Structure 1
Amino acid sequence: MHMPQEQGRFEAGKAGGSFHSAPLSPSAHSLATKEPAEELESEEREAWKGTLPSESYVPRVMPRLLSTGDMVATFLMIVFFITNATTAVAGGAAAFTYWAIGALAFFIPGVIATAQLGVIFPHEGSLYNWTHKAFGGYWSFFAAFCAWFPGVLVIISAGDVIVSYLQGLNPGWLTEPWQQGLFIIGLIAVTSALAIQRYSAVQKLVNLVAGLTLVAVMLLGLAGLVWLLRGHPSATSFSHLSDWSIRFDKNSGNLYLFGLITLAYLGTEVPLNMGGEVARLRAITRHLFWGALLVIVGYGIATFALLVIAGPQNGAAPFALVHVVDLALGKFMGNVVAFCLMSFFIMAMVVYNYAYARLLMVAGIDQRLPVKVARLNRQRVPANAIIFQAAVATVVTAFVFLLAPYTVQVTTPANLSTEVYNVMLASSTLVWAFSAGFLFFNLIRLHGMRHPLLRERRIVPAPLLWGSVLCGSVACFLAIIGTLFYSWTNLISNTQWFIIISVLTFAYLVIAAIGSMFANSEANWESARL
């Protein structure tokens, strides 16, 4: 993986094109005047002492332009997949119980851990960088890979939701898997082209779409209230304590919702993949506070509207979020919500692509991946990493929607496409959850190392911090177990689901482990050269 001829490509004026299309900051200008190989070697020597080259390099060539508002918008695009509410409503009123448990046991502890690590190490790459500080190069790449691959699959997932919304508008559209696959591939191409444009311009679009998403949430809440005020009965019973309770019965229980709902809160650390581009340190804690609050309230409002107007059965389809507004506020308002939510998922494909491209970029800068993947284009965006991710997403989409449904004749093409899609998404989500566990493991390790910054920059009282670490770790483990034992689709039995998901998840982890060994040996070899 060593490509010595590429070392000079990190020079600011040659990173896929000149940076002089935009004003350079003084620090970036000073970098552009230095010999690139000399600059990189100096940074690699710092890495031997515990400082990664990406920590000092990124702030010099990528502008610090992200405000608290920008980070809140990005947080919403990453975490707030509102269609998760259509899954939660299957539990009736108990959905609120699970949302609350997931928030208290996993989401809020994850937010606290993310904020603490982000304040201690406000660098590009978030989990990759933090794990390097705690466990070293091998585990940092392992954690980053476990976070990265699911992010690529979420790009496909967002495209699939858009397909569902178009089918809701017209059931005759995109009925065959091959049509859906080609459409999603087209979306991947368009959104990837948008992701490599100037970051400040793209961020303005992200902020706009995040605002539209909040408008959709407010309309959903208004729809639920108007429905009740007009004298319509609630489609869901809330009057009995048993309606809100956790049921453990194997056949009629709702325990399967714990894993689904808890893992809906994944992704708290992803906006800080751009941690080296944040304008002010306080934006790290502020965006997590406001972003988490909006996510919790947003999921609650969406679930309320679905349960009150549609009920547990009718509220389970993704397009139900539009249908309930149609019923309560009229077709026009329903179309407004459809537009807002489709805009969200289109922009989510953009955000996931450029956010996870930062992981590839910093790994390339730190010599754990080929240096080509870290090159920036004229807009100071990691275009090569974004294009690579788009290619991976395209190949996976082609397999799920174009190849598998028509070559494996064990069921109808549509059902097989659904089965393969759910299996891949669930297994990758488990790997993502495994990587999220490093948020808590890193803090434990840093405490054991008596890292001075953990004490100097602690943002919450010690009992709250360590209580969050304990609670979040346990909740993450239980959510993983729950996802293993309960199928996400009626097309696959729980027994078959357990076997398939276990094997695939184990395979992902093995690939991550082997890849980490190669990446770590490459980095050690580079360091030994110096």
Structure 2
Amino acid sequence: AGPSVFIFWILAFATFLITGGFVTAQLGRMFPEEGSLYVWTHKVLGPFWGFFAGFVAWWPGPVSLVFIGILVANFLQQFATFFTCNGQPCTILTKNWEMGIVVLVVVWFSASMSYLKMQVTQNYVNVQFWAYASVIFLIGLSGVIWLLKGNPSATSFSTGWNPFHGEKLIFGLPANLTFFSFAILALLGIETPLNMGVEVNGGEKAIRTFLFWGSIIVMAAYLWATWGNMVVIQAGGANGTTGGAQTVGLAIGKWAGAAVSLVLAWVVLTVAVVYNYSFGRLLSSSSSSGAAAAIPTRPSTCSTRA
């Protein structure tokens, strides 16, 4: 897509992230309870649609744990490629059963962390956030270092800004438009932290602050990292999953790329922990509000004697 990806990022920010942040802030103010999306839909549309929205929002949670396990394996595989074995890049986790073990470890670890006190897990996530922020900064910085070393930019920023140029899809739609879908997918979940809304210290003011600065950080991070990737690696040449570590490895050195791979593996592992906590609240909220009581059950035949 070339430089036009920045147009799609900004369009996604304006039409989805920012508007979603306003809606989430207002709903969080009106109904500051556990369950966020379930509670909001239940209050407005009733128990059936509340349960439906809650289930649809919860379902990707457990499914994504498997996908997250695969992502962890991918980053570990990339970590190995920064080293040499018999003159060739090292390879690990090449068999399906090895990938399966990684998935099981991710599920086990995330479930185990869910049994700990909330404060312990929160401190763990806070530490991981700063590591993740450092990696994002390093990816963008790689673009600066690449240029300071005298290398030309891998992507020309003088052309390619028209999002409607290039290959066409069915009905004449521009192929670059697919990146807009990717951008929306990457921005999903702004309401997810409010699944635990009752545990937010500071009430309404804290929710507004978290949403405001969280959105600012997300927008800056995506634009900065995208620029760094495009300066070092030609558009379309980077792996969509592991491209960040590849960029750092080329611009700064293999040791830095290997470190970024490990941190990103840790990041997605932590995402699994957060998902277990946050999406579990949808189930507890729906059951405690009486949605579970609506499920038909077999009448009891037991009786008691006075």
- Bin for the TM-score computed over the shorter chain: 0.7 to 0.9
Mapping of residues 400-439 of structure 1, within 5 Å? none
User: Would you say 1:271 and 2:193 are equivalent positions?
Assistant: yes
CA drift at 1:317: 4.1
User: Would you say 1:104 and 2:104 are equivalent positions?
Assistant: no
CA drift at 1:244: 4.2
- Counterpart Cα distance in 2 of 1:265 and 1:246: 23
User: Would you say 1:246 and 2:173 are equivalent positions?
Assistant: no
Corresponding residue for residue 86 of structure 2: none
- The answer to whether the Cα contact below 8 Å between 1:96 and 1:244 also exists between their aligned partners in 2 is no
Question: Which residue of 47, 55, 70 corresponds with 1:145?
Answer: 55
Residue by residue over 1:85-137, the C-alpha shift from the partner in whole angstroms, topping out at 9 and shown as x without a partner, is xxxxxx22111111111111111111110011001111111011111111111
| AA of the residue aligned to 1:362 | S
- Counterpart Cα distance in 2 of 1:154 and 1:268: 17
Question: Which residue of 85, 90, 96 corresponds with 1:177?
Answer: 96
- TM-score of the superposed pair, with normalisation by structure 1: 0.51
| AA of the residue aligned to 1:197 | L
- Count of matched residue positions in the alignment of Structure 1 and Structure 2: 283
SS in 1 for 2:53: helix
SS in 1 for 2:33: coil
- The answer to whether the Cα contact below 8 Å between 1:306 and 1:324 also exists between their aligned partners in 2 is yes
CA drift at 1:176: 2.3
- The answer to whether the Cα contact below 8 Å between 2:76 and 2:262 also exists between their aligned partners in 1 is no
Mapping of residues 315-326 of structure 1, within 5 Å? 315-326=238-249
- Counterpart Cα distance in 1 of 2:240 and 2:55: 32
- Counterpart Cα distance in 2 of 1:309 and 1:342: 22
- The answer to whether the Cα contact below 8 Å between 1:360 and 1:369 also exists between their aligned partners in 2 is no
Corresponding residue for residue 122 of structure 1: 32
CA drift at 1:323: 1.6
- Counterpart Cα distance in 2 of 1:345 and 1:125: 23
Mapping of residues 123-522 of structure 1, within 5 Å? 123-170=33-80, 172-240=91-159, 242-247=160-165, 249-250=168-169, 253-281=175-203, 282-369=205-292, 519=295
Gaps of 5+ in 1: 1-90, 371-517, 523-530
- The answer to whether the Cα contact below 8 Å between 1:95 and 1:244 also exists between their aligned partners in 2 is no
CA drift at 1:369: 3.1
CA drift at 1:201: 0.5
Residue by residue over 1:161-181, the C-alpha shift from the partner in whole angstroms, topping out at 9 and shown as x without a partner, is 111111112252111223212
- Counterpart Cα distance in 1 of 2:131 and 2:65: 20
- Counterpart Cα distance in 1 of 2:185 and 2:268: 18
- The answer to whether the Cα contact below 8 Å between 2:78 and 2:261 also exists between their aligned partners in 1 is no
Residue by residue over 1:132-162, the C-alpha shift from the partner in whole angstroms, topping out at 9 and shown as x without a partner, is 1111111111111110001222222222111
- The answer to whether the Cα contact below 8 Å between 2:73 and 2:93 also exists between their aligned partners in 1 is yes
CA drift at 1:229: 1.8
CA drift at 1:331: 2.5
- Counterpart Cα distance in 2 of 1:338 and 1:179: 18
| AA of the residue aligned to 1:96 | F
SS in 2 for 1:174: coil
Using the aligned pairs only, state the percent identity.
35
| AA of the residue aligned to 2:156 | S
- Counterpart Cα distance in 2 of 1:227 and 1:316: 19
- Counterpart Cα distance in 2 of 1:300 and 1:355: 27
SS in 1 for 2:64: helix
| AA of the residue aligned to 2:63 | L
- Counterpart Cα distance in 2 of 1:319 and 1:98: 21
- The answer to whether the Cα contact below 8 Å between 2:75 and 2:262 also exists between their aligned partners in 1 is no
CA drift at 1:243: 3.5
Corresponding residue for residue 384 of structure 1: none
- TM-score of the superposed pair, with normalisation by structure 2: 0.87
- Counterpart Cα distance in 1 of 2:66 and 2:222: 22
Change (3 A) 1:207 1:201: same
- Counterpart Cα distance in 2 of 1:187 and 1:131: 32
- Name which of structure 1's ranges 242-251 and 283-292 shifts more when overlaid on structure 2: 242-251
SS in 2 for 1:246: coil
- Counterpart Cα distance in 2 of 1:152 and 1:185: 13
- Counterpart Cα distance in 2 of 1:178 and 1:96: 39
- Counterpart Cα distance in 1 of 2:50 and 2:116: 29
Residue by residue over 1:466-497, the C-alpha shift from the partner in whole angstroms, topping out at 9 and shown as x without a partner, is xxxxxxxxxxxxxxxxxxxxxxxxxxxxxxxx
| AA of the residue aligned to 2:188 | L
Which structure has the higher relative contact order (CA within 8 Å, separation 6+)? 2
Residue by residue over 1:201-226, the C-alpha shift from the partner in whole angstroms, topping out at 9 and shown as x without a partner, is 01000000011000001111211111
- The answer to whether the Cα contact below 8 Å between 1:238 and 1:244 also exists between their aligned partners in 2 is no
SS in 1 for 2:175: coil
| AA of the residue aligned to 1:132 | H
Corresponding residue for residue 300 of structure 2: none
The runs of at least 4 aligned residues of structure 1 exceeding 4 Å deviation read none
Residue by residue over 1:389-428, the C-alpha shift from the partner in whole angstroms, topping out at 9 and shown as x without a partner, is xxxxxxxxxxxxxxxxxxxxxxxxxxxxxxxxxxxxxxxx
Q: In angstroms, what is the RMSD of aligned CA positions?
A: 1.8
| AA of the residue aligned to 2:51 | F
- Counterpart Cα distance in 1 of 2:261 and 2:162: 30
